[in-house]
Amino acid sequence: MISCKKAAELTCQSLDRRLSLGERFKLRTHLLMCKACNAFRKQSIELDRLLNKRFHSRVSDEEFQRAVEHLPGDSCNRIKQRLREVVEQ
């Protein structure tokens, strides 16, 4: 029987690589009996999913989306100005 420490390690690694058959078996067996590690697994997967959703799909918050849609005009001009300065040098 693997410890919670090992189970947590395998849980995290399962998000980064394919576990071996033996590792999967050990993890599954532990998860069957350990509520804490089950919670850890659920929350870790959820965290990954949320971050993925947040950074790789359209932002659902309309207000935020409107705010991030365009580079503000004044900084647009400031950046252009700066680039021209550098070009002229």
| Site residues for another protein per CB under 8 A | 3-6, 8-9, 12-13, 15-17, 32-40, 42-44, 46-52, 54-56, 59-61, 64, 67-72, 75-76, 78-80, 82-84, 86-87
- In the complex, the smallest distance separating the C-beta of residue 17 from another protein, rounded to whole angstroms, is 7
- Enter the DSSP assignment of 20: P
- In the complex, the smallest distance separating the C-beta of residue 20 from another protein, rounded to whole angstroms, is 13
Which token pair is 86?
A: 């550098």
- In the complex, the smallest distance separating the C-beta of residue 73 from another protein, rounded to whole angstroms, is 10
User: Among residues 5 and 21, whose Cβ is nearest to another protein?
Assistant: 5
Q: Are the C-beta atoms of residues 33 and 2 closer than 8 Å to each other? A: no
CA-based R_g, the chain, Å: 23
Q: How far apart, in whole angstroms, are the C-alpha atoms of residue 59 and residue 79?
A: 26
